[in-house]
Amino acid sequence: MAVTGAAGRIGSAVRAGLRDEVSRLVLIDRAGLTAQSPTEDVHKLDLRDAEAVTAALRGADAVVHLGGIPDEAPLPYLLDSNVQGTFSVLEGARRQGLRRVVLASSNHVTGFYPVLETVTPEMPTRPDSLYGVSKVAVEALGRLYADKFGLSVVCLRIGSFQDRVSEGRHLSTWLSPRDGLGFVRAALTACDVRFATAYAVSANTRRFWDTDSGADLGYVPMDNAESFASRIAVDGESAQSVLQGGAHTRAEYTLRHL
């Protein structure tokens, strides 16, 4: 199995969680990594280098693609890193015959829906940022490779991956490390999947994303952000508090990158 973006916050958690569960773990990142067990095979490379990515995936049976820019940035940077990098991974997976590709999408592909509306993966995307737009493109590439080349692809729309809840929006969007790893395991092992999109979010009482698709992957989240509620100040009725994307929906959030 392979993990891109293995030096990142989510990548590090996936690395630690899966290290002892696989016979070989290929770790890909442009930052230097050191193997921490005999099962780890480390590759320092740029995901935009499709040939290098293809070579690194040789012998792997699946890949969890977590590499890329994780927040708002100028669109050319996002297209270069997130979209081109995803193309390299999908093309490498196709050429090496991998059985499954798990793509890290984001909840920000639907951030302009109101918080009072329950959103399902089947509903139209409403990205709240240039970053969200790049993740819409990531999902589209995954769908293309599933439909055209028969690749098995799962897109996880990742929530707010944090050790603990630190702001009001997280009471709805929190993804605990335990549940994050659970969704990744499920995405890797779900049977009979050609293409699927699921929201990866903990079992938060106030969540506004449908999690039935996550259950279809074979995982039911266990943690609930409500346990932190008494310590968190909840936003008032500002424009950003009534939209699911929160601060990402503000014009100023993107204008500084234009």
Question: Which residues form the catalytic set?
Answer: 131
Write the CA distances from 148 to 57, 104, 105, 134, 196, integer angstroms: 21, 20, 20, 21, 15
**To 10 degrees, what angle do helices 84-96 and 130-149 make?**
20
Q: Exposure string (b/e) for 96-116, b if CB count within 10 Å is 16 or more?
A: bebebbbbbbbbbbbbbbebe
Of 21, 14, 144, nearest to 66 by C-alpha is 14
Q: Which amino acid is at 108?
A: H
Please report the sign of the dihedral spanned by the C-alpha atoms of residue 31, residue 37, residue 38, residue 39.
negative
> Which region, left, alpha or beta, applies to residue 100 given φ > 0 means left and ψ of -120 to 50 means alpha?
beta
- The 8-class DSSP code of residue 128 comes to S
Give dist(CA 135, CA 148) in Å, integer. 20
- Look at strands 174-175 and 160-161 and give their pairing: parallel
Give dist(CA 7, CA 66) in Å, integer. 10
